[in-house]
Amino acid sequence: MSDDPFGFDTRQLHAGQRPDSATGARATPIYQSASFVFESAEDAVGLFNIERAGHVYSRLSNPTNAVLEERIAVLDQGVGAIAVASGQAALHLAISTLMGAGDHIVASQSLYGGSHNLLAYTLPRFGITTTFVDPRDPSAFKRVIRPETKLVFGEVVGNPGMEVLDIPAIAEIAHAAGVPLMVDATFVTPYLCQPVALGADLVMHSATKFLSGHGVVIGGLLVDGGVFDWQASGRFPTLSETYEGFHGLNFAEEFGPAAMITRARKEGLRDFGACMAPMTAFLILQGVETLSLRMEKHMDNTRHMIQFLSEQPNVKKIHHPGFEGHPDYALAQKLLPKGAGAVMSFEIEGGRAAGMKLIETLQLFSHLANVGDAKSLVIHPASTTHHRMDDAALAAAGISEGLIRLSIGLEDAGDLIRDMKSGLRAAAKEASA
């Protein structure tokens, strides 16, 4: 939270947790239990009626998960968070809490392929539609907001085009229309950016990536900034009107700033069940403890790779906001002064054939569908992560046949550059063959 007296490094280690009162354990215990014993019949009634805090069933909440949730909420300056099974589950949980059939989303056209697929193809089956717009044009968001719009959505740094979302400008447009702004902050983590402080209302993370940092778990987090007035908006009956599922409870009246995150837990986790396993929460917590240290190294290695690629003759274009030739460089310096993340992409001469040759030649970069690992990763988006998008959607998202996406890891920067140099040589030979 903004008034927390401790610095980021301290909060990433301590927020949400004290030594275990029963055993003195310093590490967060793994509460591998499906359910929890009630203290009394009265206690059971109070827990089920949301009259008191506590744990009933691990689909809804769990003591291990609760530490992770509080820690991320503190780091993101939110009023609460929910740990779920994946980043996709976090996105779905937010949408299903706020809207239903007939409602509408305005979203950036530069999104992770899975998010684009959910919005463009899956949700319309349930009556929820999305209009995609250029993330670099805040006025485009304004033009397509309509009475049934319930959410504006984008990524802090777009995937894989690396566009920087002007969060303050787009938040102002969304709020003027009575709509919340939700951002995917996976690439930047709370260390590089706290979107709530810039005007966003909701934040989601794929905790699989940099928060965990080691490629060993799947998990997601939804954070509520607690700053959007759901009642004043008049667009959110799920939060501002009585809910018979809880005997006429009005979430906005009862929980105030925490209305959204409370309903998401009590309804969304209850009914859809996309909960996080306690062991997963424990492993993510281990990653969060070193988040700032890892992100600094990620950023340093990324700067070295950008400099190297900018000097290579068969690299046509570099996509990273830390590159001075990037169209969002100035905006990134303003909104992301610590760095714009360790995911980058570049376009290579020779198209798909040269790109695949480069990938097959690399030794240190692992060819797989993930980012945010301690190890460096590489992929060809047009044929993999974004393959469901048609040619028009690919072009709109800035994904060419020769686009290569990198996730820069924690290896020695010189070793990564030597590996990339060999890949570029092989790609040049392929392009000239």
291-432 topology per CATH: Aspartate Aminotransferase, domain 1 (3.90.1150)
Provide the residue count of the chain. 433
Question: For residue 403, what are the β-bridge partners?
Answer: 347
Based on the number of CB atoms within 10 Å of its own CB, is 160 exposed (0-12), middle (13-18) or buried (19 or more)?
Answer: buried
User: For residues 161 and 155, what is the distance between their CA atoms, to the nearest angstrom?
Assistant: 11
- Ranges of residues in the chain whose predicted pLDDT is under 50: 1-2
3-state SS record for 240-264: HCCEHHHCCECHHHHHHHHHHHHHH
> How high is the pLDDT of residue 1?
41
Architecture of domain 8-287: 3-Layer(aba) Sandwich (3.40)
H/E segment holding residue 202: strand 202-206
User: For residues 92 and 206, what is the distance between their CA atoms, to the nearest angstrom?
Assistant: 12
Tell me which residue of 108, 111, 106, 167 sits closest to 142, measured CA to CA.
106
Sheet with 403-407, edge to edge strand ranges: 315-319, 343-348, 403-407, 377-379, 366-367
Residues 81 and 73 sit within 8 Å (Cβ to Cβ) = yes
Cβ atoms within 10 Å, residue 56: 13
Residues 386 and 374 sit within 8 Å (Cβ to Cβ) = no
The single-letter DSSP state of residue 1 is -
Cβ atoms within 10 Å, residue 320: 27
Question: For residue 318, what are the β-bridge partners?
Answer: 346
Domain with CATH 3.40.640.10 in the chain: 8-287
> How high is the pLDDT of residue 85?
98
Residues with Cβ within 8 Å of 163's Cβ and at least 6 positions away in sequence, in order, are 108, 110, 135, 136, 157, 328, 398
> How high is the pLDDT of residue 341?
97
Take residue 38 and report the two structure tokens written for it. Answer: 């009630």
> How high is the pLDDT of residue 399?
75
3-state secondary structure of 234: coil
Take residue 210 and report the two structure tokens written for it. Answer: 């940099």
Domain with CATH 3.90.1150.10 in the chain: 291-432
